[in-house]
Structure formats: structure tokens, C-alpha cells
Amino acid sequence: MAQRVDPELRRKRIAEALWRVAVSRGLHDVGLREVAAEAGMSLGALQHYFPTKDDMLVFALEFVGQEADRRVRERLSSLPQPPSPEAVVRATLAEMLPVSPESRTGLLVHVAYLARAVHNPRLRAATVEGIQPLRDLLAEMLRRAAEHGRLAPGREPGAEAMALICLAEGVTNYVLLGTMTAVEGERLVDAHLAELFRGTAEVPGQP
């Protein structure tokens, strides 16, 4: 009797294979055949789920985001409830830095994906769409901090949210390149948050 295959588990297996290939080789010259071999399946089986490379890349990027979201929620669940806006921002930014094997792998995939998305309208659109929820979350937390007088004066939440994303991604790039260590990168982000959130001692060093 034929064994039933869970489509979502198979998609996850393919995404994880793509992660491994991206980490070891990048994505520039990698095709469906290489990912199928890494996943231990035939090219035809992989194309049943992802007819094109772009289909596979979009799913893999979404999977990276879902895993990062899960890790953020785990961080927040360990904090006093409900977590403060500062704690939410710090936990979110921490998962945007390559400070653990999981986050490092996901961010290597993200960097490889961005290099391809620059010249691919479909992938670029998916990237732009994916940034907006993150920006909205950070901006909302900054607004809440401002309402309680804990945001430095003259800071506009929407602009500061985008600045935090740029800071985290810039630090990530240089950590991945070996220009700075992950610890140095975290300290740089914490120093910025300490200036951004005034009157609170909970941001630097927050687990």
C-alpha cells in the first residue's frame, strides 16, 4: 500500500535542503536539480511542489521568516508578561542577527536570496512585501514606548523602525563577513537601543 506523503513536511524538507545548499554554495548557480539531490528526491518529485526555482525561493524565504518569528515568540515567552515594547523590539532585532546556528543559517539564506532578488522583480516584490509587517511591528512598539515617555525626543516611530531594520541587516552583513563578531554586533545594536529608549534599564543585555 502506497505511503501517504504530507505535502507540508515535504515542502519543509525541500526548504531545508535549499538552506543547506545556500549556506555552502550560495544561490547564484544552483538549480532545482541540485536542491532535489540535496533533499534526496527526484527532480520530478521536487517540481511537483515547486515548478520553478523562483517558486521554491519564495517559499524558502517565507519559511525563514516563520522560523524567526517562532524564535522571537520563544524569547518573549520567557520574559515577564506582558513584555514591554522595549523587550519586544530587542527580541525581534536579536533574531535578525546571526547570534545562533539557527539564525545564522536563516540569514545566510536571506542574504543569498537578496542578491538574486535585486535583478528579479518577483523575488524583489516578495521581499518588499515581507518587510512591511516587521516595520509595522517595530513602529507600533516604538509608539507605545513614546506614549509612556520612554522614547528619545524627536524620534518618529515609522522612520526609526526602518532605521532599526537597516541597522540589524548592516550588522548582520558584517558579522557574516567576519568584520565583527556576533557579540560586537549585539553590543552595537544594544548601544543604539539604549539611546533610543530613554529612562529604561531593561534593554541592554536583555536575554
Residues β-bridged to residue 151: 197
**pLDDT, tens digit, 9 for 90 and up, residues 97-106:** 998 887 888 7
Assign 207 a pLDDT band (cuts: 50, 70, 90).
very low
Q: Are 128 and 53 in contact (CB under 8 A)?
A: no
pLDDT tens, position by position, 136-165: 999 999 999 999 999 999 999 999 999 999
**CA gap 166, 198 in Å, rounded:** 21
Residues in the chain: 207
Q: Which CATH number fits the domain 53-196, given the four candidates 1.10.357.10, 3.40.50.300, 1.20.120.450, 3.30.930.10?
A: 1.10.357.10
φ/ψ of 151, rounded to 5, equals -105, 135
pLDDT in tens, 42-64: 999 999 988 988 888 788 778 87
Q: Give the C-alpha separation, 53 to 67, whole Å.
A: 21
Residue 156 exposed, middle or buried by CB count within 10 Å (0-12, 13-18, 19+): middle
